[in-house]
Amino acid sequence: MDKLFEELSMLRDIALAQHQQLNLMQSALLPEQQEAISRAMQQKERRHLAEQSGDDAASGVRILHEKAMIALGPSGDVVLSRVGAGRAHVTNTTSFDKIRVNSTDDILIGDCTLTEVLTNDCDTSVARDTTTTTTSAAPTTPLSVDVHASCLQILINHPAAAGKDGTYTLVDDSGDEYDAWCDMTTDGGGWTLAAKMTNADEKNWVTGGGAWANATAYGNTSDLSDGSDARGAAWGSVPAAQIMLRDSENGYDYLMTEAASGCFLTETVSTTEAARPGTSRSGEDNVHATMAQYWARAMVDFPGYGLADTDTCHYFERCAATGTYNPAFLVSGDAFSQTEIGSGDIQYLTMAFSDRNADTSGVISGLESANYCPEADIAIGALEQGDAWLAGATNKGHQQDIGGPSECNYNDALCASDYPETVFFFVREEAEELCVRLGCHHAWRGGPW
């Protein structure tokens, strides 16, 4: 008996020493490390309880809501995945009583939304992707679908295409098919790649207004390859309620016009600062133009507006913008430019902008504030000689497809080196307008479009 007590005492001392050592190790951990260990132990305990109760076969629930996804797993885990800003998903363990969603369209049961189940409109022939998708991951394989007029129409008619970026076959207004890259992820997806702009090749976007108003396609807009300018068939066939800029250097970071910006409508807009979008529109307020149509009107008085030596700022439209970054090709170290580096976020995209005295002009430039009339010396379609296109410029280096000519000393080789990115120019329609114009297989869900 004494020997048994001696062994028990020894075991107690060993356990006590291990416990003290564990406490010392835990005290040396950072608070977030201690929390991670605690979460792991809780998850392990929940899995054990689920196995004991036979609950391991429970089905999960996937909820989609605008730019985020919530997946409730069988073990009580919650996976949050933000879409459109290049963020990794966040996994955690929690518990709660209720979840609020906007509608039954936001809940997937198997391969169908709850709305489709309740209305007996569940099409099980089209399998939905039920895995967590993050914007930092490599593009998924495009969904195999029939031919549509735009990427947004594909997404509305085939919700399973959400998150499946890639090359899809579209059809233009003439009935001709073409391939285009679709961003089915950012801000809910449905973006059609319409053009590319870069300084790495010939200057194609500063040759004249026709470079923007022409609907003839050239180059490659069927993928996100870089190094060459391009204008896709979507430029002249997909009406744009919004545009989005991404580039080859920054993944899924984006800068886009807001859906409620009121830009790109078919009605002619005054070119003076006094008549901004939304002041006096009539008739077809909800009808948007293709880029070719839009720029044909925007370029009538651009560049310079024939109003040199005045104190007035001239542009075609200023469009409220939002995004995840300030693109290098739209920001400058010059305090007189539209958006100075580090000074603030781009709040507007200004279309066909010439500054005071027509000193500089930019086809698309960023702006920190609407109540500001800076130089237009950095842009997509940057004209440092603000009253002339490339052919009429005294120094050809003053005109560059992207970026700030003064920032790269008006040197073509240096401008290509300082601005190595290829800009990806996407367009997206207004969903309700699209469904009225072309029809949609599924009811419009009033998503982020």
Whole-number pLDDT of residue 114: 73
Q: How confident is the model at residue 284 (pLDDT cuts 50, 70, 90)?
A: very low
Find the distance separating the first CA and the last CA of the chain, reported in whole Å: 80
Using the CB atoms, write b or e for 349-386: b if 16+ within 10 Å.
bbbbbbbbbbbbbbbbbbbbeeeebbbbbbbbbbbbbb
In whole angstroms, what is the distance from residue 248 CA to residue 377 CA?
A: 22
Secondary structure of residue 337 in the 3-state scheme? coil
AA identity, residue 47: R
Spell out the residues 6+ positions from residue 97 whose beta carbon is closer than 8 angstroms to its own: none
- How far apart CA 40 and CA 43 sit, in angstroms, is 5
CA–CA gap between residue 1 and residue 132 (Å, rounded): 60
Q: Which of 86-90, 204-208, 348-352, 428-432 has the lowest mean pLDDT?
A: 86-90
Q: Return the amino acid letter for 418.
A: D
Tokens standing for residue 53: 């109760």
3-state secondary structure of 208: coil
pLDDT of residue 276: 31
For 132-157, b where at least 16 C-beta lie within 10 A, e where not — what string?
A: ebbbeeebbebbebeebbbbbbbbbb
Over the chain, what is the mean pLDDT? 75
- Round to whole Å and give the CA distance between 59 and 49: 16
Give the count of alpha carbons within 13 A of 28, CB side only: 6
Domain boundaries, the chain: 42-132, 151-428
Exposed, middle or buried, 15 (CB in 10 Å: 0-12/13-18/19+)?
A: exposed
Q: Are 254 and 186 in contact (CB under 8 A)?
A: yes
Distance CA 289, CA 331 (A): 28
Provide mean pLDDT across the span 230-256. 96
Residue with the bigger pLDDT between 409 and 274: it is 409
Look up residue 182 and give its two tokens: 């679709």
Q: Which of 113-117, 269-273, 304-308 has the lowest mean pLDDT?
A: 269-273
C-alpha 205/C-alpha 197 separation (Å) is: 7
* Residue in the block written with tokens 């469009």: 319
Q: What is the mean pLDDT of residues 220-235?
A: 97
List phi, psi (to 5°) of 8.
-65, -40
Local confidence band at 190 (pLDDT 50, 70, 90 cut-offs): very high
**Winning range, highest mean pLDDT, from 103-117, 124-138, 317-331:** 317-331
SS3 230: strand
Contact 181, 204 (CB under 8 A): no
Identify whether 303 is preceded by a cis peptide bond (ω within 30 of 0): yes
- Is 387 exposed, middle or buried, given 0-12, 13-18 or 19+ CB atoms closer than 10 A? buried
Ranges 344-348, 363-367, 391-395, 434-438: which has the least confidence: 434-438
Identify the band that residue 83 occupies on the pLDDT scale cut at 50, 70 and 90: very low
Q: What is the pTM of this model?
A: 0.66
282 CB contacts (<8 Å, ≥6 apart)? 267
**For residue 3, is pLDDT > 90?**
no
Q: Please report which confidence band the pLDDT of residue 68 belongs to, taking 50, 70 and 90 as the band edges.
A: very low
**How far apart are alpha carbons 215 and 212 in whole angstroms?**
8
**Range in 107-116, 157-166, 381-390, 392-401 the model is least confident about:** 107-116
Cα–Cα distance, 55 to 47 (Å, whole number): 9
What residues form DSSP beta bridges with 70? 63, 80
